[in-house]
Chains A and B, each alone.
Chain A
Amino acid sequence: EPEVTQTPSHQVTQMGQEVILRCVPISNHLYFYWYRQILGQKVEFLVSFYNNEISEKSEIFDDQFSVERPDGSNFTLKIRSTKLEDSAMYFCASSPARQNTEAFFGQGTRLTVV
């Protein structure tokens, strides 16, 4: 069964460093997403990506964040100058259509900023 894969599963970084979280969406999907879940809190939408550009983003997704699809298979989330409050589980998801279809989620990357 096709699945969304994320690497690494865990990432520990020092405050102020840049991190890149990687995702390989399901191959025939066209819409890609990043969500995050701070420990004990709700899963929150960060950004959606379609046709090589951001289609929607939340207030959380500020200039510190960027997304890219560098090679047609990977989908990355870059966090510049990480802060302690960026510590969270980051989920990548993909879907074949924009609406009325399930989004398939990866297993997540647990980011810890120290």
Chain B
Amino acid sequence: SQELEQSPQSLIVQEGKNLTINCTSSKTLYGLYWYKQKYGEGLIFLMMLQKGGEEKSHEKITAKLDEKKQQSSLHITASQPSHAGIYLCGADGNAGNMLTFGGGTRLMVKP
């Protein structure tokens, strides 16, 4: 079965700083999804990556999938308190859209 490992598990940054979260898969990724979860709430879709080397950006968040399609990174530029939450990476199973999730990265942004 596919396993996703996220690092770091938690992160505290000062407002305005950049940060990177990593997601490493035990198998080739067919589709890699980034979601954000606020404590006790649902998952909010951020981005989906499919092709090796693909990079997508939305506002101050950029996600990349490496050429070998086994690792993805999420980069936040000039972090704000609104970026605080738990960031989850999820991977498509090759048989369908059942997602396997990483353990999450808990981000706190200090004003």
Kindly name the residue among A33, A42, A89, A97 whose own CB sees the greatest number of chain B CB atoms within 10 A.
A42
Q: Does B59 contact A (CB under 8 A)?
A: no
Q: How large is the interface on B (under 10, 10 to 19, 20 to 34, 35 or more residues)?
A: 20 to 34
Question: Which applies to chain B's interface (DSSP): helix, strand, loop or mixed?
Answer: strand
Minimum C-beta distance from B85 to chain A (A): 14
Closest to B100 in A: A45
Question: A43-B101, A104-B45 are known contacts. Are A99 and B31 too (CB-CB below 8 A)?
Answer: yes
A55-B31 Cα distance, complex, nearest whole Å: 19
Q: Is the CB of B42 within 8 A of A31?
A: no
A45-69 interface code vs B (CB 8 A; 1 in, 0 out): 1001000000110100000000000
Contacts of A93 in B (CB 8 A): 43
Contacts of A56 in B (CB 8 A): 93, 95-96, 98
A33-B99 Cα distance, complex, nearest whole Å: 10
Contacts of A44 in B (CB 8 A): 101
Q: Does A28 contact B (CB under 8 A)?
A: no
Residue numbers of A with Cβ under 8 A of B are 4, 31, 33, 35, 42-45, 48, 55-56, 58, 89, 91, 93, 95, 97-108, 110
28 residue pairs from A and B, CB less than 8 Å apart: A33-B98, A35-B99, A43-B88, A43-B90, A43-B99, A45-B99, A45-B100, A48-B97, A55-B96, A56-B95, A58-B98, A89-B40, A91-B43, A97-B97, A99-B31, A100-B31, A100-B48, A100-B50, A100-B92, A102-B33, A103-B33, A103-B99, A104-B45, A105-B43, A105-B44, A107-B42, A108-B40, A108-B41
